[in-house]
A and B are shown apart, each in its own frame.
Chain A
Amino acid sequence: MKILVCISCVPDTTSKINFKNNDTEFDNSQIQYIINPNDEFGLTRAIWFKENDGAEIDVVSVGLDNNDQILRKALAIGADSAFRINQEALDSFQVAKLLSAHISNNNYDLVIAGRESIDYNGGMVPGIIAEILKFNYVTNCVGLEITDSSAEIKREIEGGVETLTCKLPLIIGAQKGLVEESDLKIPNMRGIMQARQKPFEIIQGKTEETKTKTIKFEKPESNKEIKLVSPDNLDELIQYLHNEAKVI
């Protein structure tokens, strides 16, 4: 089985978000980049298929050379080959188009992307790829088993879980729950050394087409002062919630 994991390079989850150039650009000074957590859950599941079923794993990312470090990390924890599509990611549609071109040039049985990136939160890249390439698609994926060319997928739904089946090829949107947090891999020295010998290809992207443009950022208004209530006077809290906030 040949698996492709699509990886987005995102600011570390603890990052404070700031903007520059009159709030038109993300301020990336002092930002540590990581593999998008939803993609990492997917990559971890792919590594399980490699370790247990001998699957072969490619990883791909759209972006400039600052993405190389996270692709190297993916190689260090178990991916076999890395591809970087050398184009600045401008919007979800453009990224999905670039990834679709790569996928149609290779025969993948399974494509894994995160449900959404934790920076842009578009949540549409795997779905757009699915529709362009006519793959079966399941997102919010919290379970994936593959036997021969059949997949059984668990997807989170509101208040529960749905189990679906289909034949490969398949593309999923991975999220928390697909693997346990304790299954996530940390690169070791051996993995890091091996990663240097693994294929790492830079591909020139071919589409500039976008459908959206981000023109300005803003941060949420800072909160008003908190009202503290004594634990001995909980009626006061109830009055606040009823009369002032009007939520109960």
Chain B
Amino acid sequence: MSILVYIESNQNQIKKSSFESLSYAKKLSKLISLDVIAVVINCSELAPLSDFGPDKIISINEKELELFNAHNYADVISNVSKSVSAKNIIISDSINCKYLASLLSVKLNAAFVSNVVSLPNSTNPFVVKRSTFSNKAFCEIEINSEIKILSISKNSIGLNENKSEPIIINPDINFTESKLTSESIKVSEEKVSIEDADVVVSAGRGLKGPENWNIVEDLAKTLNAATACSKPVSDMGWRPHSEHVGQTGKPVSTNLYIAIGISGAIQHLAGVSSSKVKVVINNDPEAPFFKVADYGIVGDAFEVVPKLNEKLKAFQAENN
């Protein structure tokens, strides 16, 4: 029996969220005394994994798995899970992980609990906390099935270094090939994605028009941040839907969230509530965002943002 962690990589680089999954698994292993096994698909740079304590790494190299396909990946992970009698499967909350996990849960007759934010507060019965109501609340879930798939909310557990010397094995793998074909993938190369970013700079209607977004982008560039926006801004077509943060857009759990000219409708605040530190810049001191932020500036975004950008650049120059 074991705890299996699915490790995601992008261009041979392991994703940070997978280190968090591994940190979770290692902590869980102390509670239920099972080995932690990492499964990696088509990634040769495995050394960083040993900083987070896996007992074993199952490294699969298969040309036909070069592109992510949820059906194929779920089949592979299911076969690996069965071969190591995995009782717990830990994954991140990424788009691809959640996509494959629902398929995997049926293959393994497992329960899948998403958006998990804590280690189990009891292991028999197995009870974990997850976020619900689009981050407006949390709930405790009791899992009644023998095999459990947990997807861990980004930044909820954090990274926990724990050196190990894992055995690496390269098994042969069989899977049933999916009839879903990937035709093309378009990814913006120069921009940081909201999902991967440690800092997100977000702006709302207060910016008055799409032509003014350069101040947001400049600040984001300085902070190596992703750009995001409020619902009205994406509805009006000022910014793409993929930047819309909130209840019907995407949730953001980042280290630093800077909201510029966003008043803070309840749906938007729900979407960002799990971000660690929130800064609000708004000329209206009554804006609801001031009630939930950690730091606030009451002022004109068109003056404050470029000035803040210059000050940050000077700060970075001094500290590097």
The 8 Å CB contact of B178, one of A13, A38, A136, A229, is: A136
**From B69, which residue of chain A is reached at the shortest CB distance?**
A164
Interface of A is mostly: mixed
Which residues of A have CB within 8 Å of B192?
159
Cβ contact within 8 Å between A136 and B241: no
Which residues of B have CB within 8 Å of A159?
187-188, 191-193, 195-196
- Nearest chain A CB to B65's CB is how many angstroms away? 15
Cβ contact within 8 Å between B256 and A123: no
Q: Does A176 contact B (CB under 8 A)?
A: yes
Which residues of A have CB within 8 Å of B187?
157-160
The 8 Å CB contact of B111, one of A93, A156, A247, is: A93
Q: Does A201 contact B (CB under 8 A)?
A: no
Given A118-B134, A217-B138, A238-B312, does the pair A212, B273 have CB atoms closer than 8 Å? no
Cβ contact within 8 Å between A121 and B115: yes
Cβ contact within 8 Å between B71 and A137: yes
* Interface flags, A221-239, vs B, CB<8A=1, else 0: 0011011111100110110
Cβ contact within 8 Å between A176 and B186: no
Q: Does B107 contact A (CB under 8 A)?
A: yes
Which residues of B have CB within 8 Å of A226?
280, 290-291, 293-296
- Nearest chain B CB to A62's CB is how many angstroms away? 16
By size class, the interface of chain B is 35 or more
The interface stretch among B21-29, B51-59, B80-88, B141-149 is: B141-149
Q: Does B214 contact A (CB under 8 A)?
A: no
The 8 Å CB contact of B312, one of A130, A224, A248, is: A248
Q: Does B99 contact A (CB under 8 A)?
A: yes
Q: Does A128 contact B (CB under 8 A)?
A: yes
A220 and B133 CA atoms in complex are apart in Å by 11
A124 and B97 CA atoms in complex are apart in Å by 11
A210 and B296 CA atoms in complex are apart in Å by 45
- Nearest chain A CB to B194's CB is how many angstroms away? 8
Q: Does A122 contact B (CB under 8 A)?
A: yes
The 8 Å CB contact of B248, one of A13, A213, A228, A235, is: A13
Q: Does B96 contact A (CB under 8 A)?
A: yes
Which of chain B's residues 264-286 have a Cβ closer than 8 Å to chain A?
265-267, 273, 276-277, 279-280
Which residues of A have CB within 8 Å of B96?
157-158
Cβ contact within 8 Å between B111 and A140: no
Which residues of A have CB within 8 Å of B244?
176
**From B181, which residue of chain A is reached at the shortest CB distance?**
A165
Q: Does B170 contact A (CB under 8 A)?
A: no
Cβ contact within 8 Å between B186 and A212: no
The 8 Å CB contact of B183, one of A120, A164, A214, is: A164
Q: Does B159 contact A (CB under 8 A)?
A: no
Interface of B is mostly: mixed
Q: Does B70 contact A (CB under 8 A)?
A: yes
Cβ contact within 8 Å between A214 and B140: yes
**From B99, which residue of chain A is reached at the shortest CB distance?**
A139
Which residues of B have CB within 8 Å of A182?
235
Q: Does A219 contact B (CB under 8 A)?
A: yes
The 8 Å CB contact of B298, one of A137, A162, A231, A248, is: A231
Cβ contact within 8 Å between A215 and B141: yes
* Interface flags, A40-67, vs B, CB<8A=1, else 0: 0000000000000000000000000000
Which residues of B have CB within 8 Å of A228?
295-298
Given A17-B136, A124-B114, A127-B99, does the pair A211, B144 have CB atoms closer than 8 Å? yes
Cβ contact within 8 Å between B112 and A164: no
* Interface flags, A55-93, vs B, CB<8A=1, else 0: 000000000000000000000000000000000000011
Which of chain B's residues 295-319 have a Cβ closer than 8 Å to chain A?
295-300, 303-304, 307-308, 311-312, 315, 319
Which residues of B have CB within 8 Å of A237?
279, 295, 297, 308
A68 and B74 CA atoms in complex are apart in Å by 36
Which of chain A's residues 139-162 have a Cβ closer than 8 Å to chain B?
139-140, 142, 152, 156-162
Cβ contact within 8 Å between B144 and A242: no
Cβ contact within 8 Å between A234 and B304: yes
A214 and B143 CA atoms in complex are apart in Å by 9
Cβ contact within 8 Å between B105 and A38: no
Cβ contact within 8 Å between B98 and A138: no
Q: Does A216 contact B (CB under 8 A)?
A: yes
Q: Does A19 contact B (CB under 8 A)?
A: yes
Q: Does B247 contact A (CB under 8 A)?
A: yes
- Nearest chain A CB to B13's CB is how many angstroms away? 13
Residues of B at under 8 Å CB distance from A? 70-71, 74, 94-96, 98-99, 101-103, 105-107, 110-115, 127, 131-145, 178-188, 191-193, 195-196, 198-199, 223, 234-235, 241-242, 244, 247-249, 255-256, 265-267, 273, 276-277, 279-280, 290-300, 303-304, 307-308, 311-312, 315, 319
Q: Return 15 A-B CB contacts under 8 Å, by A number.
A: A17-B133, A17-B136, A119-B133, A124-B101, A127-B99, A132-B106, A137-B71, A139-B98, A212-B143, A219-B137, A223-B294, A235-B311, A238-B308, A238-B311, A241-B279
Nearest 7 Cβ contacts at the A-B interface: A127-B102, A159-B193, A231-B299, A160-B187, A131-B106, A211-B111, A124-B102
Q: Known contacts A122-B112, A159-B193, A211-B145; can you find 5 more A-B pairs with CB under 8 A? A: A13-B247, A158-B96, A158-B195, A159-B196, A215-B127
